[in-house]
Every structure is written in C-alpha cells, then in structure tokens.
Amino acid sequence: MSKNSVIFDLDGTLIDTPRAIIETFTQTFLTMGLAAQKAEDIRATIGLPLEKAFSRLLNLPANNELVIQCINQYQLLFKEIILPKAKTLIFPGVEDGLATLSKQELPLAIATSKFYASADALLKAAGLRDYFSVLVGADQVNNPKPDPEAGYLTLRKLNNASVENAIMIGDTTHDLKMANAAGMRSIAVTYGIHSLPVLRSANPTWIADTFTDVVNIIAEAFQLKKIEAVIL
C-alpha cells in the first residue's frame, strides 16, 4: 500500500451537482411554503453543510426547528431529483482518472460537506463508490470544513496516513482552507463552484482546469510510475 493518499471533495469536484442542488433547494422552499431564494444565493452556500446553508438562507440559527425541517425535506427530494441523474453528472475524465489512480494502488478518500448517507448514496448511484476506501461526511465531525477535523479523521481512517503525504482536491475555499489548516497540500479545480480568483485567495498548492490535470499533478507530486490511462 502506498504511503501517499489522496482526498477528494465530492460536489463540484467529482460530480457536477450544483445545478441539481439549486433545483433541490428551490423545490424544498416551495414544498415548505417558504419564500423563493435567488439561485445565486443558493449557489453561494454549496460546499457548506446543510444546516449552515439553510441557516444562512433563512437567516435562522442552525438548530432552529424550521432549519431542521428543511434539511429533512431536502434529503427526501435529494433522492428524487439528484440520485436518478447521478451517472450523467460525473465530470469529464473523472471515471478514467479514478481508475488510473486506483491502478497505482493509491489510497483514495472522500471528505465532503454532505451527510455520510447522502454522499454514499450519490457515489453508489454514480458508480464511483468502489474507488474510495474511506468516506467522511459532515455528520461524522463536530466541526466541518473549513475546520481541519474532517481532514484529520479521513487520514486516521486511511491507516493513520500522514498529512505530509496527502493531497486534498476541491472546488471551493472550504476544501482548500481545510487542507491548509491540516497541513496538507491541495489542488484547486476551476470547473466547480468557486471562481479562480476566489480559489487563489485560499492559496492552493496547485490549480487544475480539468480532472486530467488533477491526475497529472498527483502523478508528478508522488512520482508515480508511468502507466497508460485506463479508458472505461
């Protein structure tokens, strides 16, 4: 087993869920009889745990009963709106890239702001779950991203992998700040939620425009042996 490890964010990094997430939030507010929210305001909360997202959008404490009800409704709609289209939302190059990295026996993990059950269901629906030996959701930590707790827990589950030999990949400053706080290197992907200037503000180690770029950066950083990309 490699001493190196790679941790991925999920939404906006592996799977192009932002538009579907906005649709699910919008339908949640409609179902709950609440005022509609602007799409850009919803988009700005993607990457945060649901309780923080709804808290911000509703301007209520995270433990408010209405926030909790919205989370429950969202999770029901998530199964109806997002899961059925999961396979069609995978970013270009992700399946081939994960297969290539797995062939190198490189431990792969997910650290996400989604709850564990939702992330697990999404990965399974997309056909990607088997690539990841570890999955850490926001409900498994007391302090979600950008706090480093999720990063530390992921590394512990990866047989106590070291921060020095870990790379975090994400599309938001929440991912990058978590990596920085934990002391690990990071790759910012520009095809997700946050713009390049915003990503640069979090000081990523590398910047990638495509998932193929991500794989190439990882290969160079870990000096992986040259292999042909796996085409699925």
pLDDT band for position 229 (50/70/90)? low
| Pick from 1-15, 73-87, 96-110, 171-185: least confident | 1-15
Q: What's the pLDDT tens digit per position in 114-126?
A: 999 999 999 999 9
DSSP state of 61: -
Residue 109 in tokens: 């993990």
Q: Is the pLDDT of residue 83 over 60?
A: yes
- The DSSP annotation for 181-222 comes to HHT-EEEEETTSSS-HHHHHTT--SEEESSHHHHHHHHHHHT
Q: Which residues pair with 8 in a beta bridge?
A: 110, 169
What is the pLDDT, as a whole number, of residue 44? 92
What is the pLDDT, as a whole number, of residue 228? 54
Strand bridging mode 5-8 / 166-170: parallel
What is the pLDDT, as a whole number, of residue 227? 53
All structural domains of the chain, each given as residue ranges with its CATH number in brackets, are 5-16+87-221 (3.40.50.1000), 18-81 (1.10.150.240)
Among residues 22, 15, 24, the alpha carbon closest in space to that of 40 is found at 22
Q: Is the pLDDT of residue 113 over 60?
A: yes
Q: Is the peptide bond before 146 cis (omega within 30 degrees of 0)?
A: yes
| Dihedral over Cα of 181, 187, 192, 195: its sign | positive
pLDDT mean over 38-50? 92
Centre a 10 Å sphere on the Cβ of residue 3 and count the other Cβ atoms it contains: 12
What is the pLDDT, as a whole number, of residue 224? 82
What is the pLDDT, as a whole number, of residue 208? 98
Q: Is 11 a catalytic residue?
A: yes
Place of tokens 């292999």: 227
- Average pLDDT score, the chain: 94
Q: How far apart are CA 126 and CA 232, in angstroms?
A: 14
- The DSSP annotation for 120-177 comes to HHHHHHHT-GGG-SEEE-GGG-SS-TTSTHHHHHHHHHTTS--GGGEEEEESSHHHHH
pLDDT band for position 149 (50/70/90)? very high
pTM above 0.85, yes or no: yes
What is the pLDDT, as a whole number, of residue 48? 87
What are the CB-based long-range contacts (under 8 Å, 24+) for 126-131? 126/14, 126/15, 126/86, 126/87, 126/89, 126/90, 127/87, 127/95, 128/14, 128/15, 128/90, 128/94, 128/95, 128/98, 131/98, 131/99, 131/101, 131/102
What is the pLDDT, as a whole number, of residue 47? 84
Among candidate residues 11, 171, 175, 213, the one labeled active-site is 11
